[in-house]
Chains A and B, each alone.
Chain A
Amino acid sequence: MATINESTQEGMKPKSNLDEFDKEKAQNFSTIFNVESNDQMKLLRYGIRKFAENILIPMAPTVDREAIFSWETAKELAKINAWGIEIPEKYGGAQLDSLSYAITIEEISRACASTGLNVSAHNSLGVYPLIKWGTVIQKEKYLPDLAIGKKIAGFAMTEPNAGSDVRRINCLAKQIDKGFLLNGSKIFVTNGGIASILIVISRYKTKNGKEGMAAFILDKNMEGYEIGKIEEKMGMRGSSTTSIYFKDVFIPEENILGPLSDGFKIAMQTLDVGRLGIAAQALGIAQAAYEHSVKYSKERIQFNKPISSFQGISFKLAEMATKLETARLLVYKVAAMRNISKNISKEVAMSKYYSSKIAREITQEAIQIHGGYGYMKDLPLERFYRDAKACEIYEGTTEIMKIIISQQILRGNM
């Protein structure tokens, strides 16, 4: 595997994250320890869960089986502001903080992980860079439609030869009059088939020979923008993953996102936010598998007793509950940190690594508890397992997370 230097962003000198805390905002930090007794967070979870149970759970098996994205569901999601969780109110969003964002993604994923991914990728990978680096004109142009799910956003970075090794990307935007001409291709683009707005990370070459990495805002209606085939995936089947091809796509100057040479930095900071979404997703999937397991093990009678009365099963439940609690605290901590700290790379990598790991373990044990029934497609357990596995891979594999964590530690951010 090639060497990776995701966290070696220019000008970023890691130090203890506590140094960067804004003291006033830090007061809210304690919220993470009592999310269950904070009325606003409680009502938020209750509201999203009710929505998810009414709208998403009934259609989740179909979404998985037929690998579909439903625009009808997208409209329902728009009614609860799920497409504009962090978008400022003036652009039609809910303008909420990271903790609310994490809980929303967690609850949607508990019902339908594919929908959780659609929403998470849209909000964190597509919309977030626009909020963070977009100009007022760009925001006014794109955010209102994105806030109501009229348009879906995505993020394109991975290429056939540039997965974990981001610096090897080949897409090239050559400067011409009034803009750039983009050529190349991207693979495994989340929301690729449904996104109208795509943040594309590409190499660039200016007229005077300067090179670097840039972030561009692409519209699927641009000439030369072509969507490839929809990938057949193991899990997260309701999320449309495609290749995208660019053949002489003209990108006007006004579609450069942030400073031209900041592409790599934008990509890395965007992925930090995306990874929080993935961690919350994994948490939601694990929660669903855990709840099914507790319920089933109390109802299933073997040897004249509910199987939960056997330690072989009850210890599994105890392990699941402990792992969930641990992962949840870390996810919420990172969410709260994001509101008050600039550098969350280490912690967000930890939470993505840990949540996706325990989600894989919990969904696997949940199948074991359900025995043969768990292996059948009539129950959602096997789906949970397939969906959970994706969380260990996309937006940076577990191995990449460990590299980021260890690099930060060794550079003094202990």
Chain B
Amino acid sequence: MVNIFVLIKQVPSTHNLEIDKKTGALIREGIETIINPDDLYALELGLGLKEKYGGNITAVTMGPPQAEISLRECLAMGIDDAIHVCDQIFAYSDTFQTTLVLKEVFDKIKDYDIIITGSQTSDSSTGQVPYQLSEALDIPLITDIFSIELKNGFVECQRNFGHESQNIQVELPILLRVRKHFNEPRHLSLLGIKKAFEKKIIKMDFNALNCPNFIDGCNKSPTKVVKTAKISLQRKNEVIEGTTSDKIQKILDIIQEHGIEKIWVGEK
């Protein structure tokens, strides 16, 4: 029986992301939240493995109290249990601090076989946690897998590596980082949604985890997001006046300004 864990994160829905002009941080209040889209592929892989090989599957998230609804959504998909790691101290942790907390979580769980993550989050796009966590737990990390089979205590998986495909055999426990669009995440069923609210979510905070004092959220995060700015791509419009030959010359000049040296002009 395999014990599967999927790491998920609640992120703001990507429509209408706004940045606070004063603090330069994402405005998270009042914004619709979703499960990080990449994590859905991780959840689907986990559910598929459970259906094929049996066992138990748990979703884990670290986040503010409102992240609970994302765990409910996991439960509605068919996940068995949910762990909500939540404490004011963990607020604004960077990936490194997040990893340290997750290490405490898995040290407490002890009995884990497969931990699955998405490739990166849509709100910070670092993709660092799976690498750091595999180091912290000292278990192998396999990325970009596209097929996986469990065989008596070890795992056989295929992964894409550049232009080659690798067949990898590895012993449990392992950490998997799945690629986007690697499967088709299932929809929520009405029964699943109902059942999701009948289950109890396991809460873990700083004290419950008995966290060491080097865990201190943003205070001990080695990286800090100093400012976030919105990139807007806009076409530049310029009206060129003059005679036709003037206009052509002006256009050629502009093209040359952009570093294109040779221009071939067709003749009648």
Chain A residues close to B by CB (< 8 Å):
39-40, 42-44, 46-48, 50-51, 54-55, 76, 79-82, 85, 89, 93-96, 100, 104
Given contacts A51-B188, A89-B191, A94-B194, 10 further A-B contacts (CB under 8 A): A39-B72, A40-B72, A42-B69, A43-B193, A47-B188, A47-B193, A55-B187, A80-B190, A81-B189, A81-B190
Q: Could you list 7 A-B pairs, sorted by A, with CB under 8 Å?
A: A39-B69, A42-B69, A43-B76, A46-B188, A79-B186, A94-B191, A94-B194
A42, A50, A95, A100: the one contacting B187 at CB < 8 Å is A50
Is B197 a contact partner of A80 (Cβ separation < 8 A)? Answer: no
Kindly report which residue of chain B lies nearest to residue A78, judged by CB atoms.
Answer: B189
From 173 to 209 in chain B, residues with beta carbon under 8 angstroms from any chain A beta carbon are: 186-191, 193-194, 196-197
Residues of B within 8 A of A82 (CB): 190
Is A50 a contact partner of B188 (Cβ separation < 8 A)? Answer: yes
B73, B187, B196: the one contacting A51 at CB < 8 Å is B187
Q: How far is the CA of A44 from the CA of B196 in the complex (A)?
A: 11
The 4 closest A-B pairs by CB, nearest first: A47-B188, A94-B190, A81-B190, A94-B191
Q: How far is the CA of A51 from the CA of B189 in the complex (A)?
A: 9
Is A80 a contact partner of B72 (Cβ separation < 8 A)? Answer: no
Q: How far is the CA of A96 from the CA of B194 in the complex (A)?
A: 8
Residues of A within 8 A of B72 (CB): 39-40, 43
The B interface, classified by DSSP as helix, strand, loop or mixed, is helix
Q: How far is the CA of A51 from the CA of B184 in the complex (A)?
A: 12
Residues of A within 8 A of B197 (CB): 39-40
Residues of B within 8 A of A95 (CB): 191, 194
Q: How far is the CA of A79 from the CA of B196 in the complex (A)?
A: 16
Q: How far is the CA of A76 from the CA of B68 in the complex (A)?
A: 28
Residues of B within 8 A of A76 (CB): 187
A80-B194 CB under 8 A given contacts A42-B69, A43-B72, A43-B76 = no
Q: How far is the CA of A5 from the CA of B68 in the complex (A)?
A: 51
Is B186 a contact partner of A47 (Cβ separation < 8 A)? Answer: no
Is B190 a contact partner of A79 (Cβ separation < 8 A)? Answer: no
Is A40 a contact partner of B193 (Cβ separation < 8 A)? Answer: yes
Q: How far is the CA of A80 from the CA of B190 in the complex (A)?
A: 6
Q: How far is the CA of A93 from the CA of B196 in the complex (A)?
A: 16
Residues of A within 8 A of B76 (CB): 43, 47
Kindly report which residue of chain B lies nearest to residue A82, judged by CB atoms.
Answer: B190
Residues of A within 8 A of B196 (CB): 43
Minimum Cβ distance to chain A for residue B77 (Å): 9
Q: How far is the CA of A328 from the CA of B191 in the complex (A)?
A: 24
A100-B186 CB under 8 A given contacts A39-B197, A47-B76 = no
Minimum Cβ distance to chain B for residue A280 (Å): 14
Minimum Cβ distance to chain B for residue A325 (Å): 19
Kindly report which residue of chain A lies nearest to residue B32, judged by CB atoms.
Answer: A46
A100-B190 CB under 8 A given contacts A39-B69, A40-B197, A43-B196 = yes
Residues of B within 8 A of A93 (CB): 191
Is B189 a contact partner of A44 (Cβ separation < 8 A)? Answer: no
Flag B38-74 by CB within 8 Å of A: 1 or 0 each.
0000000000000000000000000000001100110
Q: How far is the CA of A100 from the CA of B197 in the complex (A)?
A: 14
From 67 to 87 in chain B, residues with beta carbon under 8 angstroms from any chain A beta carbon are: 68-69, 72-73, 76
Q: How far is the CA of A40 from the CA of B69 in the complex (A)?
A: 9
Minimum Cβ distance to chain B for residue A406 (Å): 36
Is A54 a contact partner of B194 (Cβ separation < 8 A)? Answer: no
Q: How far is the CA of A89 from the CA of B194 in the complex (A)?
A: 11
A42, A55, A104: the one contacting B190 at CB < 8 Å is A104
Is A85 a contact partner of B189 (Cβ separation < 8 A)? Answer: no
Is A94 a contact partner of B69 (Cβ separation < 8 A)? Answer: no
Q: How far is the CA of A51 from the CA of B193 in the complex (A)?
A: 13
Minimum Cβ distance to chain A for residue B74 (Å): 11
Minimum Cβ distance to chain B for residue A100 (Å): 7
Is A80 a contact partner of B187 (Cβ separation < 8 A)? Answer: yes
Residues of B within 8 A of A42 (CB): 69
Is B190 a contact partner of A43 (Cβ separation < 8 A)? Answer: no
Kindly report which residue of chain B lies nearest to residue A42, judged by CB atoms.
Answer: B69
Q: How far is the CA of A121 from the CA of B260 in the complex (A)?
A: 65
Residues of A within 8 A of B73 (CB): 43, 46-47
Q: How far is the CA of A95 from the CA of B186 in the complex (A)?
A: 21
Q: How far is the CA of A48 from the CA of B197 in the complex (A)?
A: 16
Most chain B CB neighbours (cut-off 10 Å) among A48, A54, A80, A100? A80
Residues of B within 8 A of A100 (CB): 190, 194
Residues of A within 8 A of B186 (CB): 79
Is A85 a contact partner of B190 (Cβ separation < 8 A)? Answer: yes
Kindly report which residue of chain A lies nearest to residue B34, judged by CB atoms.
Answer: A46
Minimum Cβ distance to chain A for residue B188 (Å): 3
Residues of B within 8 A of A48 (CB): 188, 190
Kindly report which residue of chain B lies nearest to residue A92, judged by CB atoms.
Answer: B191
Is B189 a contact partner of A43 (Cβ separation < 8 A)? Answer: no
Q: How far is the CA of A85 from the CA of B194 in the complex (A)?
A: 11
A80-B189 CB under 8 A given contacts A43-B196, A47-B76 = yes
Residues of B within 8 A of A81 (CB): 189-191
Residues of B within 8 A of A46 (CB): 73, 188
Is B187 a contact partner of A44 (Cβ separation < 8 A)? Answer: no
Most chain A CB neighbours (cut-off 10 Å) among B76, B187, B196? B187
Q: How far is the CA of A42 from the CA of B72 in the complex (A)?
A: 11
Kindly report which residue of chain A lies nearest to residue B73, judged by CB atoms.
Answer: A43
Q: How far is the CA of A184 from the CA of B197 in the complex (A)?
A: 48
Q: How far is the CA of A177 from the CA of B73 in the complex (A)?
A: 55
Flag B68-109 by CB within 8 Å of A: 1 or 0 each.
110011001000000000000000000000000000000000
Residues of A within 8 A of B193 (CB): 40, 43-44, 47
Most chain A CB neighbours (cut-off 10 Å) among B76, B186, B189, B190? B190
